[in-house]
Amino acid sequence: MPAHKLPFEFNSLKYHRKILFYLTRAFAENTLSHALLFTGLQGVGKQAAAQLFSMICNCTGRAGSVLPEPEADEQSGDAENNIRPCGQCRSCQKILNSSHPDILLIRPTGSIIKIDQIRGLIQKLSLKPYEAVNRFVIITDADSMNPEAGNALLKVLEEPPDHTTIVLTAGQVSDLLPTIVSRCMHIRLSPLPEEYIAHVLEEEHGVVPDEAASLARMASGSLVKAVSMKTSRWLDRRNHFIHDLIALRSGSIRFVMVFAERVSQDKEVLAECLEVCITWLRDLIVYRYAPDRIMYTDLEETIRGEYQKSDSKTLLSLIDLIYKVRKKIESNGNARLSMEILAMKMAGR
């Protein structure tokens, strides 16, 4: 049977194949925990991993097949195919169409998961699965459960129904009630490789290679973050900030003041500007010692032209000052005044 083309969001799962392999083996050996907690960065593929795992466990196209060890598998070069469900059987098709009655997906309505959603779930779980070998409950952003919902879910985790696996996803363990975490097997999904994120940006979003590399590096392993940076035109805004930062050095005092006023008018703009400042200054320092480790790889030429204009000590003291300014603004200090002082220092006044 030819490998079925799985949805695009499943592509990144090849980077989590070892985890999926071990989970699949535990399932086959009947030693799988009834509750799993997937943590990892936003956009790393937590929900897709849970969905793929539910497909693997219920796929009738490859029922009874024993998966090879991942190591042996890697040598053969097609590791990801071996943890793939067939994608074509009735069960796989229903899961792909989100119409499987036993694969229950709970996600926040608005920004929270409410008690009513968990009550509805408990009612469904009191019945036997309709057709699945193993029913799945996938609760995404489980950290958005309000306390009532969390406590209701706790009862389910304490007395789990048969033939049911509950998968919670969250950014990090500390976002959840410890009583919930202690009842789950915790699986951490690693950030995605920069090369993969850059590749997706180029192939799926038409980003030119240099910019794709920079966005991928800035996204720190989160595809969702990279794509949102692309769609929100983050690069344009960053370039604008950097243009101004360079211009500060030769600008008039009026220019410095106007810059400070402009960026301090909006909280989000200000936060973004300070973030760009820190990375920019960091790159100017790093370029001197390890040019291949800069974050703004697409600006290498600009960085090469600028890095010798200040010594590392000055740049480090500016970074230090930015952190202080950020703290001050977060505790409701005068943003404009703080920015004026910072901009003057950056201008070398």
Nearer of residues 70 and 85 to Zn ion, judged by Cβ: 85
Residue 58, CA distances (Å) to 67, 89, 133, 212, 233 in order = 15, 10, 6, 37, 41
Residue among 92 and 339 whose Cβ is closer to Zn ion: 92
- Asked if residue 166 binds Zn ion (CB under 5 A), the reply is no
| Shortest Å, Cβ 295 to Zn ion | 42
Answer for the pair 191, 40: CB distance below 8 angstroms, yes or no.
Answer: yes
User: Could you tell me which stretch among 58-66, 115-123, 223-231, 250-258 binds Zn ion (CB under 5 A)?
Assistant: 58-66
Which one of residues 11, 25, 28, 61 is an interface residue with Zn ion (CB under 5 A)?
Answer: 61
Shorter beta-carbon distance to Zn ion: residue 61 or 108: 61
The Cβ of residue 143 has, within 10 Å, a number of other Cβ atoms equal to: 22
Q: Give me the DSSP letters along 212-248.
A: HHHHHHHTTT-HHHHHHHHHTTHHHHHHHHHHHHHHH
Note whether 133 binds Zn ion by CB under 5 A: no
Phi, psi of 187 (to 5 degrees): -125, 125
The residue among 20 and 223 lying less far from Zn ion, judged by its C-beta, is: 20
In DSSP terms, 139 is beta-bridged to: 106, 168
69-88 binders of Zn ion (CB under 5 A): 85-86
> If binding means CB under 5 A, how many residues of this protein chain bind Zn ion?
6
Q: Does residue 251 bind Zn ion (CB under 5 A)?
A: no
Instruction: Report, in Å, the least distance between residue 56 CB and Zn ion.
Output: 9
Considering only 41, 59, 299, 342, the residue that binds Zn ion (CB under 5 A) is 59
* Residue 156 is a binding residue for Zn ion (CB under 5 A): no
| 174-196 burial: b if 16+ Cβ within 10 Å, else e | eebbeebbebbebbebebbebeb
Q: Is 161 in the site for Zn ion (CB under 5 A)?
A: no
Q: Is 213 in the site for Zn ion (CB under 5 A)?
A: no
Round to whole Å and give the CA distance between 107 and 283: 39
For Zn ion, give the closer residue by CB, 71 or 131: 131
Which residues between 88 and 117 bind Zn ion (CB under 5 A)?
89, 92
- DSSP assignment letter at 112: B
Q: Which is nearer to Zn ion, 59 or 106 (CB)?
A: 59
Q: Of the candidates 71, 69, 13, 76, which has an alpha carbon nearest to the alpha carbon of residue 46?
A: 13
Footprint of Zn ion on this chain (CB under 5 A)? 59, 61, 85-86, 89, 92
